[in-house]
Each structure stands twice: as structure tokens, then as C-alpha cells.
Amino acid sequence: MVKKNILSIIVALVILYLSLADSQSFDKVRFFNIPYFDKIAHFLMYFGLMSVIVFEHRNAINERIQLSLVALIPFTYGILMEILQLTIAANRSGSVFDVIANAAGIIIAALLWLSIGPRIKTIFK
């Protein structure tokens, strides 16, 4: 089971680190002065997580309802990360807006899969 989900696990661990690491370490590494860059980062992280999960299970996802159920995995994980930020992370705080950004990334990844998934399935059979 771990071998089949190795990419998802790696992405989830990277998100775990980025979610719980001291926020002051990210202030030192400011590449862009873009407003709401953290929301863009949340969107991209959860877009990536959903994309990897769907790709790893591309042959098992045949219906929209299955895709919706799969989307609950990164969505729940994102909520858990926000709760952990509130409770155990130093210099971090959870945010409803982060959850919304996470959900947007998940939804866009799911919609993208619905449009190009059948083609990807034929390429990677």
C-alpha cells in the first residue's frame, strides 16, 4: 500500500513540514512580494496533493462520485493541518481562508482530471 501511494505520502509530508515549521523561517526566504502569496501557496500545495493522489489511483477512479470521495482525503488533511497549526505549531495560526485556498486547489485539480483524465489513463496504461 505504501509503495502504491509513495508520491502522495511524500507530498503530504512536505505539506506537513511546511504547515508546522516555524513561520519565521519563511519570512527570511521572501522571493516575491506578492499579496496573498501564502494563499497561492496553499492552493498549489493542495492542487498538487490532489493531483498526485488522483494520478496514483487513476485506474480506480471511474466516476465523479469516486473522485469526490477521493477529494475528501486532501480536504480533511488540510483541515487537520490548520488545527495542528492552531494547537501545536510555534508562531503559526490556522485560518479559514487557508482552508478555502486548499479547497480551491483540490476542486481545480478534480475538474482538470475530469477533463483530461481519460486521455491520461490511455497514455499510462
What digits encode the pLDDT tens for the residues 2-42? 788 999 999 999 999 998 887 666 555 555 677 778 899 99
What local confidence, expressed as pLDDT, does residue 43 receive? 97
What local confidence, expressed as pLDDT, does residue 91 receive? 79
Rounded to an integer, what distance in angstroms lies between the CA atom of residue 21 and that of residue 19? 6
Rounded to an integer, what distance in angstroms lies between the CA atom of residue 110 and that of residue 93? 28
pTM: 0.87
What local confidence, expressed as pLDDT, does residue 37 receive? 82
Residue range 87-125, pLDDT digits in tens: 987 778 888 999 999 999 999 999 999 988 777 767 776
Q: How far is CA 66 from CA 32, 60, 73, 85, 117, in A?
A: 38, 8, 12, 30, 13
What local confidence, expressed as pLDDT, does residue 2 receive? 79
Rounded to an integer, what distance in angstroms lies between the CA atom of residue 15 and that of residue 2? 18
Query: Average pLDDT for residues 51-55, to the nearest whole number?
Result: 95
Give the distance from CA 124 to its chain's centroid: 22
